Amino acid sequence: MIQSMTGFGRGTASSASKKITVEIKSLNSKQLDLSMRVPSYFRELEVTMRGEIASRLQRGKVDLSGTVESIVAESNAAINIELLAQYKGQVEAMKQALGLPEPADWYATLLRLPDAIKTELKQIDSADEKAFRDACLEAVEALVVFRRAEGERLCGFFEGKIRNISELLDSVEPFEAGRVAKIRQRLEEQLSRLEGIDYDRCRLEQELIFYIEKLDVTEEKTRLRSHLRYFTDTLHLPDGSGQGKKLGFIAQEMGREINTLGSKANDPDMQKIVVRMKDELEQIKEQVLNVL
């Protein structure tokens, strides 16, 4: 069964000190376009997770975002006392040199200065790493489940459109059979208007046969039916991933046969049927862009 490229997934996991939530969404794209926004604490894991996510999702414009919630009180930030002491000395020197009053609130003044708070980057521990990885994989799996469900909906849509085209193709046959009589009648009416001119009826029959052979659509109908079957078979391949491009190519071939059928129709009723077939095919092409 096919899969859609559109979907959403969420995953959560916890370590002893952190709760990690990962959300991932995807839209259609010709290639995999993966964007990851994760806290700096987990930044070093991006490269590893990119590879795993890419192998699982294959295609699509994918956005992944992660958030971290501390379960226990912890902080890796500290006041930079040494630097603030230097700042205070410089402010006092500026006060004396310029004759300025002393700051009303030293705390507010100093803590607003650059690097007043220093942050120590802690190395990620194995428990947090595992929790982040588990949350990512859970979100990816939820996205895949969503894609499969959306793929089932698309499959039903495609089957309905393919069935409509097949029925329209069957409805061509009655008009196709009547074209010969209409063409013969039209030619004979035109010849009858030419007064005083005699013509060879045997030669007329030969030319008529040649003309009708050029308008024969048997091959186009046969190839179109073959493409319709191939499209349906591709929808139901056991491995439902990676079929979008193939379905797109088949739809292009279907379009060629329908266009040729229209150019050979030479009948207003057949032309109307061809237009309806084109409309059904355009709807297929639009949705094929969403197939993985």
CB neighbour class for 112 (10 Å; exposed up to 12, middle 13-18, buried from 19): exposed
Q: What pLDDT is attached to residue 83? A: 83
- Residue 285: the pLDDT is 94
For residue range 38-80, what is the model confidence (pLDDT) as tens digits? 887 788 888 888 888 988 888 899 999 988 887 765 556 678 8
pLDDT in tens, 115-130: 777 655 566 778 888 9
- Rounded distance, CA 54 to CA 64, Å? 12
Calculate mean pLDDT across residues 254-279.
89
* Percent of all residues in the chain with a pLDDT value above 70, rounded to a whole number: 82
Residue ranges of E strands in the chain: 7-14, 18-27, 32-37, 60-70, 77-79, 117-119
Compare 18 and 4 and report the one with higher pLDDT.
4
Mean pLDDT of 131-137: 92
- pLDDT reported for residue 18: 83
pLDDT at 149 over 90: yes
28 with 6: CB under 8 angstroms? Answer: yes
Residue 97, pLDDT above cutoff 60:
yes
3-class secondary structure, 143 = helix
Band of residue 229 on the pLDDT scale cut at 50, 70, 90: very high
DSSP state of 193: T
pLDDT of residue 248: 93
How far apart are alpha carbons 257 and 228 in whole angstroms? 11
pLDDT value at residue 106: 82
- The confidence score (pLDDT) of residue 191 equals 67
Which domains occur in the chain, in start order?
7-74+124-146 (3.30.230), 77-119 (no CATH), 152-288 (no CATH)
Q: What is the mean pLDDT of residues 214-234?
A: 89
According to the model, what pLDDT value does residue 207 have?
A: 64
Confidence of residue 233 (pLDDT cuts 50, 70, 90): very high
Q: Angle 167-171-172 (CA atoms, 0-180°, nearest 5)? A: 120
pLDDT computed for residue 198 by the predictor? 65
Question: Helix 218-235 and helix 126-170: axis angle, to 10°?
Answer: 150
Distances (CA, A) of 189 to 185, 194, 211: 6, 9, 17
pLDDT tens digit sequence for 187-210: 666 667 766 666 666 666 666 666
Q: How many Cα atoms within 13 Å fall on the side-chain side of residue 63?
A: 5
DSSP, res 45: G
- pLDDT recorded at residue 72: 60
pLDDT for res 129? 87
* Residue 50 to residue 62: CA distance in whole angstroms: 11
What pLDDT shows up at residue 180?
67
Residue 82 or residue 8, greater confidence:
8
Average pLDDT, the chain: 84
